[in-house]
Amino acid sequence: MIKVILIDDEPLAQSIVEEYLNQHADFEIVATCNNGYEGLKAIQNLQPDLIFLDIQMPKITGFEMLELVETLPAVIFTTAFDEFAMKAFEANAIDYLLKPFSKERFDKAIQKFLLTYHSSKEQNQKHTADFVAQNSISGENQHRIVVKNGADIRIIPIQEVHHIDAYDDYVKIYTGEKYFLKKKTMAYYEQSLDPQLFVRVHRSHIIALSQLTKIEPLEKDSHVALLKSGKRIPLSKSGFARLKEVLGV
């Protein structure tokens, strides 16, 4: 049996997907969830093959939830906002159901999933990861960061971020003396954060301009940025030039 989880804050939408899916004998709904918090826990515990996921939900969005999932299942997105549909179709990675959708359209999505499911589960996971990455940085500048802190989920407003450091396959997101790990790249945050508020000053460091107190010279034409916390962040030559450009000096 193909294990399925439904994640949607609208009971009617859940019931429609459940009704349509019950007519496909190879699928079993193992959980229904009303938000991203419940969805993340269910995915971790039940390891589904496929999830039906709404994007615009309270607390955290569908995209933010997927960023916290370690092993991604295949995803069929469901939403009423067609601005996301265009992105999905352009990505040509996974299917997308624009509410309200018919049974015929639903069945087509199922058939598309089955083609990739039987050929390569790894390819499904790659498609999902690629799509999430593309849509996470293609909209407005990021205004918050959602992280997993043990069993808890923490929403960090972007104004609380002091600096971001590279850390192997992760980044460390600093808020004062505390930091949180997130499995993202420095390039991702360089693209998604507002360039007027955050500057990548080194291949391993992004700083919030609001935290900058001064730039100090070191020997051999090198420099460091001094933050309000007392942290000293090294500046690369290109990072120093980029910082001066943003500061207008």
Range of the domain at 198: 144-247
What the block records as the tokens of 123 is 């390819």
Residue 156, amino acid: I
Per-residue pLDDT at 134: 59
Residue 180 near residue 195 (C-beta atoms within 8 A): no
Same domain (yes/no): 225, 181: yes
CA 32, chain centre distance (Å): 21
Look at residues 112, 136, 160 and tell me which one is the last residue of a structural domain. 136
pLDDT in tens, 47-71: 999 999 998 898 898 888 988 988 8
Per-residue pLDDT, 150? 80
Determine which of 122-136, 171-185, 231-245 has the lowest per-residue pLDDT on average. Answer: 122-136
Is residue 166 within 8 Å of 203, Cβ to Cβ?
Answer: yes
pLDDT tier, 42 (very low <50, low <70, confident <90, very high otherwise)? very high
As a whole number, mean pLDDT of residues 141-170 equals 90
- Tell whether pTM > 0.85: no
Mean per-residue pLDDT for 204-224?
93
| Domain CATH for 172 | 2.40.50.1020
Out of 136, 163, 187, pick the residue that ends a domain: 136
The 10s digit of each residue's pLDDT in 17-30 is 999 999 999 999 99
Where residue 176 falls among pLDDT bands split at 50, 70, 90?
A: confident
Same domain, 8 and 46: yes
Please state the domain count of the chain: 2
Q: What's the whole-number average pLDDT of the chain? A: 87
The pLDDT, as a whole number, for residue 132 is 62
DSSP letters for 115-131: HHHHH-HHHHHHHHHHH
- Residue of 95, 74, 96 whose CA lies nearest to 4: 74
Tokens of 249: 């000096």
Q: Return the pLDDT at 88.
A: 53
pLDDT at position 123: 64
Q: Which H/E stretch holds residue 147?
A: strand 144-149
| CATH number of the domain bearing residue 56 | 3.40.50.2300
195 near 246, Cβ under 8 Å?
Answer: yes
Cis, bond preceding 217 (omega within 30 deg of 0): no
| pLDDT at position 139 over 70 | no
The per-residue DSSP string of 173-203 comes to EEETTEEEEES--HHHHHHHS-TTTEEEEET
Contact 202, 235 (CB under 8 A): yes
